[in-house]
């Protein structure tokens, strides 16, 4: 008798969670968070955050000026290509929060480029790109 009640309880739980999954599958998907920010943003300006960096050999080198490609947002997905050819990909949140990243092989360690920023209601995207050496503040306009 105890085994039968345990089995009934077990199968009841499976049926309950199965019904929940079916109901969830029928709900329409949430609209993409970034649809209000969708579009192509043209590059406006760039500013070096640090003027120099230290190489792996301990030498000081100048950070060059950088000019990224246009920023494109589609269905909450953001992308742009850095001047050095890295393709940054990421997301735009419901309040315009921008988070992107790219990585690739480096000479002695992998290169990681991260971009964080915001897009405002006027269509201005402001973001800071950070990497292993030089960092930049970029502005794009829709």
pLDDT at residue 110, rounded to an integer: 85
pLDDT at residue 108, rounded to an integer: 67
pTM attached to this predicted model: 0.73
- Torsion of Cα atoms, 92 then 42 then 141 then 82, to 10°: 50
- Confidence class of residue 132 from pLDDT cuts 50, 70 and 90? confident
pLDDT at 20 exceeding the cut of 90 = no
Distance CA 69, CA 82 (A): 6
pLDDT at residue 26, rounded to an integer: 42
Distance CA 88, CA 113 (A): 8
pLDDT at 125 exceeding the cut of 60 = yes
What is the per-residue pLDDT across 22-69, written as a single tens digit (0 to 9) for each?
333 343 333 444 479 999 999 999 999 999 998 878 899 999 999 999
3-state secondary structure of 70: coil
3-state secondary structure of 27: coil
Cα 34 to chain centroid distance, Å, stands at 12
Average pLDDT over all residues of the chain: 82
């Amino acid at each position: 008798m105890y085994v039968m009640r345990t089995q009934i309880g077990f199968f009841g739980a499976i049926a309950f969670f199965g019904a929940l999954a079916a109901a969830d599958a029928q709900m329409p998907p949430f609209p993409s968070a970034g649809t209000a920010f969708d579009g192509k943003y043209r590059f406006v300006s760039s500013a070096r955050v640090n003027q120099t960096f230290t190489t792996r050999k301990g030498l000081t080198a100048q950070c060059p000026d950088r000019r990224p490609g246009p920023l494109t947002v589609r269905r909450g997905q953001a992308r742009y290509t850095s001047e050095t050819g890295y393709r940054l990909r990421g997301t735009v949140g419901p309040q315009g929060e921008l988070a992107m990243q790219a990585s690739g092989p480096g000479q002695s360690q992998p290169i990681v480029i991260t971009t964080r920023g915001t897009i405002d209601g006027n269509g201005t995207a402001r973001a800071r790109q950070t990497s292993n050496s030089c960092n930049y503040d970029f502005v794009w306009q829709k």
